[in-house]
Structure 1
């Protein structure tokens, strides 16, 4: 049976710790394997920081929603924001600069996310970005092992 937790945070990088703490708590409660947890933490940090840094141009305060859904065979992370439209899934991978050139900024974090999760999806629905990250893993195995 899925278990979902909604976390609303401000567009302030210091709020990312709230997401980390929530995911850590769910990992302990539901037995998310450590490797999957680490990969989810890095991917969530990266996508949330991208939302915070790049979604709004006005410099004002905003909030966005992160939904963490723990299922028996995976963990889903869903982010909903009303910032400008941006599809990270179709972003170009970082390019190797020519000799003596500096690398083009951007793209490395998105490339990293794609390596860490099993599903990376994006939709624009009713003027809102909806980004989904999914990691396949056997939830509950860590709890079962510690009880044996």
Structure 2
């Protein structure tokens, strides 16, 4: 997949580890979606997933780290109208693909707020993949099944 991605880079964006930069990132992705003519389903899946993943990185990825935060987002055009977004950060190692599905609560009163982001990503994405490369997390989000 890496060779395929290297040849199809559309754009990239560096952001800071700040909550305000999540809006900057999703706005950037939305502008790419407009320019590239992505389907509404692809745009929604990638914007939602990027927001969820980036929120986790910004909120938790650098808590116990002395490293200067580096966050880069890359967007790739794939065959058959699919799109990949890769989130790369130098925060603490964390593989969201290992998170179990949340337990379904017995009632609305038992439901917990939060902890459902990875499940949402799995639901809307074709692929959610993680790799640790050196001191970086690489989270790849792929969407774009034909409508």
TM-score by length of 1: 0.81
8 A Cα contact 1:74 1:134, kept in partner: yes
Cα separation, partners in 2 of 1:99 and 1:66, compared to 1, 3 Å: same
Q: CA RMSD in A?
A: 2.5
Which secondary structure does the structure 2 equivalent of 1:131 belong to? strand
- Structure 1 residues 37, 63: closer, same or farther in 2, change over 3 A? same
Tell me, yes or no, if the aligned pair for 1:9 and 1:64 is still in contact at 8 Å.
yes
Match of 2:78 among 52, 68, 71: 71
Q: Say how many residue pairs are matched.
A: 139
Secondary structure of residue in 1 paired with 2:42: helix
Bigger mean CA deviation after superposition, 54-63 or 94-103: 94-103
Give the greater-gyration-radius structure (CA). Answer: 1
What are the superposed Cα offsets for residues 46-82 of structure 1, whole Å, 9 maximum, x if unpaired?
Answer: 0111111110114886231111112342110101111
Report how far residue 90 of structure 1 moved.
1.0
TM-score by length of 2: 0.82
Which ranges of structure 2 fall in alignment gaps of 5 or more residues?
Answer: 1-6
CA distance in 2, matches of 1:102, 1:12: 32
